[in-house]
């Protein structure tokens, strides 16, 4: 007999997935210890588990997988071949439809004027920025910036200037961070530039004093100058997503966090291992959160798959808590599929959004 840990190691399905497939009646262990609830598998089931892992990677629905496994164990090859061929046809039709839609979208984009390029970049903009506030703003968003070479438009920090506010924004699709700093001397309309990450880091290194610094935007170049030093370079030649659309979220349930205590709970509390994320091949630990009746946030034990709970990348959550830079932060829950919001009690203009992870396989 193989333990569930050995089965996970040999099959390519993690322990959480094996528990899910047991509950779903797809891959039921040969024996479950009545005292401990621990699952044990026959060695022959490893082949089925590997087959199951392949079928799930191919996107086959669970209803069809049940039939494939049943046909596989009973040597019903015609049934298995028929199900595989039917799923392949669905994938091919779906890919064909997706290609048609993307071709149409590219045609629309080719004929559409870019409003950001035409209206949000000016020939020359100069303004004064509070050095401590800009340093704090960059610290609050830097963790969320993307390093994915496939998405160069996200490989920087957005500087969004409007009125006396400078908002800095970073996102890698799975999280977004927004912060604000005060400015002076900007009397024109809204201006946006995306500062490459190396240049943003160089700017942050200059922000050690208390005196205001000068920020200059000139066509496709941006420069930040102190009294005796300067960091300057080209802006990214890509348009940043309209983050304002992404942060329009309904008010959810709120919980006030003692950050130190919550960080300790996350570091020592239960986690569940994720499947490999298809977008970038990364694996990560999930923390599953719930708001208790008394308004506090609790970590759920592995195996608690209540769909009202919120599963989130633990590392991302820890980084967002650090970026919040407060002893207390507010954690705001919406729907289980809506982003988790973390913001400061004294400043709702500085916040992080974390995308939840679906609990079901």
Is 194 found in the same domain as 165?
yes
In a domain, 32, yes or no: yes
Task: Taking residues 215-236, report their average pLDDT.
Answer: 90
pLDDT number for residue 75: 76
User: Quick one: 234 and 142 in the same domain?
Assistant: yes
Write the burial class of residue 135 (CB in 10 Å: 0-12 exposed, 13-18 middle, 19+ buried).
Answer: buried
Which pLDDT does position 291 carry in this prediction?
77
Residue in this structure with the two tokens 């209206």, named with its chain if needed:
119
Please give the pLDDT value at position 279.
41
Q: Is the dihedral of CA 118, 123, 128, 134 positive or negative?
A: positive
- pLDDT bin (cut points 50, 70, 90) of residue 248 is confident
Report the DSSP pairing between strands 285-291 and 310-313: antiparallel
Residue 263 lies in a domain: yes
Give yes or no for residue 122 having a pLDDT over 60. no
- pLDDT tens-digit profile of 312-356? 899 999 999 999 999 999 998 877 778 899 999 988 889 999 998
Tell me, yes or no, whether 128 and 218 share the same domain.
yes
Token match 């969004």: residue?
Answer: 160
The CB density around residue 11, as the number of other CB atoms within 10 Å, is 22
66-91: per-residue pLDDT in tens? 888 888 877 788 888 888 999 999 99
Whether residue 121 is found in the same domain as residue 220: yes
**Distance in angstroms (rounded) separating the CA atoms of residues 202 and 199:** 5
pLDDT reported for residue 320? 95
Q: Does residue 79 form part of some domain?
A: yes
pLDDT single digits (tens) 92-119: 988 888 888 888 887 777 766 554 444 4
* Residue 77, phi then psi, degrees to nearest 5: -65, -35
Question: And the tokens for 339?
Answer: 């982003």
> Which range of residues forms the domain containing residue 71?
2-90
Tokens representing residue 253 in the block: 């349930």
Mean predicted lDDT score pLDDT of the chain:
85
Residues 63 and 127 in one domain: no
Looking at the predicted structure, is the pLDDT value of residue 265 above 60?
yes
Is position 102 within any domain? no
For residue 27, being part of any structural domain is answered with yes
Contact 176, 353 (CB under 8 A): yes
Same domain, 253 and 231: no
Q: Using pLDDT thresholds of 50, 70 and 90, give the confidence band for residue 171.
A: very high
Instruction: Note the pLDDT of residue 112.
Output: 65
- Judged against a pLDDT cut of 70, whether residue 137 lies above it is answered with yes
More confident residue, 150 or 179: 179
φ, ψ dihedrals at 234, nearest 5°: -80, 145
Last residue of a domain, one of 186, 212, 242: 242
Which token pair is 182?
């005060």
| More confidently predicted of 186 and 153 | 153
What is the pLDDT at residue 249? 75
Domain end among 242, 273, 299: 242
Q: How far is CA 238 from CA 116, 153, 234, 269, in A?
A: 10, 5, 11, 41
| 122 and 232 inside one domain | yes
- CATH number of 129's domain: 3.10.150.10
Both structure tokens of 200:
């943003």
99 domain residue, yes or no: no
Percentage of the chain with pLDDT > 70?
A: 90
Is the backbone of residue 54 left (phi > 0), alpha (psi -120 to 50) or beta? alpha
The residue that leads in pLDDT, 74 or 307, is 74
Whether 201 and 280 share a structural domain: no
pLDDT-derived band at 361 (thresholds 50, 70, 90) equals very low
Is residue 185 very low, low, confident or very high in pLDDT (cuts 50, 70, 90)?
confident
332, part of any domain: yes
192 pLDDT more than 80: yes
What count of other Cβ atoms lies within 10 Å of the Cβ of residue 98? 10
205-215 confidence digits (pLDDT tens): 999 889 899 99
Inter-residue contact 310 to 340 (CB < 8 Å): yes
Question: What is the average per-residue pLDDT within 56-74?
Answer: 86
Residue 195 CB: number of other CB atoms within 10 A? Answer: 25
My answer on whether 224 and 177 are in the same domain is yes
Tally of CB atoms within 10 A around 240: 21
> How open is the CA angle 156-285-332, to the nearest 5 degrees?
70
321: how many CB neighbours lie within 10 A of its CB?
20
Residue 8's Cβ-side half-sphere holds a number of Cα atoms within 13 Å equal to 16
- 137 and 79 fall within a common domain: no
Domain limit, last residue, from 242, 261, 293: 242
Share of the chain above pLDDT 90, in %: 39
With vertex at residue 260, the alpha carbon angle to CA 257 and CA 266, rounded to the nearest 5 degrees, is: 80
Residue 89 near residue 83, CB atoms below 8 Å: no
Examine the domain organization and report whether 214 and 175 are in the same domain: yes
The kind and range of the H/E element at 78 are helix 77-110
Widest pairwise Cα distance in the chain: 79
Number of structural domains in the chain: 3
Mean pLDDT of 253-262: 91
- Per-residue pLDDT, 157: 96
The whole-number pLDDT of residue 278 equals: 44
What CATH number does the domain containing 34 carry? 1.10.1660.10
pLDDT tier for residue 148 given thresholds of 50, 70 and 90: confident
Q: Coil, strand or helix: which one is 215?
A: strand
Q: Are residues 208 and 123 in the same domain?
A: yes
């Amino acid at each position: 007999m193989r333990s569930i840990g050995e089965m996970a190691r040999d099959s390519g399905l993690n322990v959480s997935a094996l528990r899910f497939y047991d509950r779903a009646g797809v891959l039921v262990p040969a024996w479950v210890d009545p005292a401990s609830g621990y699952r044990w598998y026959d060695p022959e089931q490893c082949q089925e588990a590997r087959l199951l892992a392949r079928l799930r990677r191919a996107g086959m629905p669970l209803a069809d997988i049940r039939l494939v496994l049943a046909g596989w164990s009973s040597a019903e090859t015609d049934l298995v071949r028929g199900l595989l061929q039917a799923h392949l046809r669905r994938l091919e039709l779906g890919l064909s439809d997706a290609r048609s839609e993307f071709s149409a979208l590219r045609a629309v984009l080719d004929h559409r004027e870019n409003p950001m390029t035409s209206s949000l970049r000016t020939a020359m903009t100069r303004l004064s920025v509070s050095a401590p506030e800009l340093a704090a703003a960059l610290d609050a968003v830097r963790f969320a910036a993307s390093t994915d070479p496939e998405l160069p438009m996200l490989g920087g920090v957005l500087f969004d200037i409007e009125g006396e506010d400078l908002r800095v924004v970073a996102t890698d699709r799975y999280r977004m961070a927004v912060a604000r700093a005060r400015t002076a001397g900007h009397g024109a309309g809204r201006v946006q530039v995306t500062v490459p990450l190396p240049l943003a880091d160089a700017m942050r290194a200059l922000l050690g004093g208390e005196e205001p610094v000068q920020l200059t935007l000139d066509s496709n170049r941006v420069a930040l100058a102190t009294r005796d030093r300067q960091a300057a370079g080209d802006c990214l030649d890509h348009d940043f997503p309209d983050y304002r659309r992404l942060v329009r979220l309904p008010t959810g349930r709120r919980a006030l966090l003692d950050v130190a205590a919550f960080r300790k709970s996350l570091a020592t509390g239960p986690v569940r291992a994720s499947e490999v994320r298809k977008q970038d091949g990364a694996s990560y630990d999930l923390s599953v959160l719930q708001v208790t009746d008394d308004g506090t946030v609790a970590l759920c034990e592995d195996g608690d798959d209540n769909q009202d709970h919120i599963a989130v990348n633990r590392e991302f959550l820890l980084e967002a808590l650090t970026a919040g830079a407060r002893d207390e932060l507010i954690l705001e829950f919406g729907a289980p599929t809506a982003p988790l919001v973390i913001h400061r009690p004294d400043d709702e203009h500085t916040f992080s959004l974390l995308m939840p992870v679906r609990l079901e396989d």
